[in-house]
Chain A
């Protein structure tokens, strides 16, 4: 087993045994070599997304955890949020520049839940239309500018 598989195996175990509120990993979606996962995410109670269900796709390179995972929303319900594009791409610094190998699937999910929870008004990013038309399929290829620390 590679070091990436070993670590993801541990993460999967921890996440299925002791999942944080609103985060459920879809164990059937986990591919044989661990490199692709789907995680169900539930909007936190009391937030604008209360009762909504979302799906996150995780893709890991063989260099994980040194390389950040590729994380995006997929499926029929993409949260309407100032940092989430309608194609599922998420503008969140820990997914690229501020990634650290001490972060994990769990901590990424919790960051996203908290990002959703602190939202005051459901709206798309101002540049959604142009971004969605011109971006790469892989959100990690986007040169993100992180400017908004409020949500």
Chain B
């Protein structure tokens, strides 16, 4: 099986996508970087389960599938910006900070709300809601079936 979680390298396709990803555009206009012997890029660390951390290149095949699924599913969870509306809750149970107007939030199918960065970090370790322990993928599927 191909390594779908390969570490980003210089010829990564994402560099072709243009301005959406980074604001380092002005850098791209400068002179080309000096030639460098390519050193093995530092592989990003993934967490197949909360207490197991592994660089991407050491993941087992099962773990790669697990992580790839999580990456794919997270994208389908609705996001939003905190507008001061209290029915979405007002504190993130992960960092225990109050939501501040304009912060990015993510809404889980079980109706629990977290900072986007906080919950995405957790979902990459375990696909469950930290507050109710509901498996998020099951709930995501039911929400598709009913709507």
The answer to whether A67 touches B94 (Cβ under 8 A) is: no
| Total interface residues in chain A, CB < 8 Å | 18
Q: Which of A65, A66, A101 has the most CB of B within 10 A?
A: A101
Within 8 Å of chain B (Cβ to Cβ): is A100?
yes
- Give the residue of A68, A96, A101, A140 whose beta carbon is less than 8 angstroms from that of B122: A101
Could you mark each residue 57-84 of chain A with 1 if its beta carbon is under 8 Å from any beta carbon of chain B, else 0? 0000000011110000000000000000
Given the complex of chains A and B, what is the CA–CA distance between A55 and B64 in angstroms?
Answer: 41
Encode A130-151 as 1/0 by CB contact (under 8 A) with B: 0000000000100000000000
Please name all residues of chain B whose beta carbon is closer than 8 Å to the beta carbon of A10 when the two chains form the complex: 96-97
Contact of A66 among B50, B93, B96 (CB under 8 A): B50
Name which of B3-11, B33-41, B128-136, B138-146 contacts chain A: B128-136
Q: Given A66-B121, A66-B125, decide whether A101 and B93 contact each other with a Cβ distance below 8 A.
A: yes
Give chain A's interface residues, CB within 8 Å of chain B: 3, 6-7, 10-11, 65-68, 96, 98-104, 140
Contact A7 B96, beta carbon cutoff 8 Å? yes
Q: Would you call A67 and B95 a contact (CB within 8 A)?
A: no
> Is B19 an interface residue when CB atoms closer than 8 A count as contact?
no
- 18 further interface pairs, Cβ-Cβ under 8 Å (given A6-B95, A65-B94): A7-B95, A10-B97, A66-B125, A67-B50, A67-B51, A96-B51, A98-B133, A99-B50, A99-B51, A100-B128, A100-B131, A100-B133, A101-B93, A101-B122, A102-B94, A102-B130, A103-B130, A104-B96
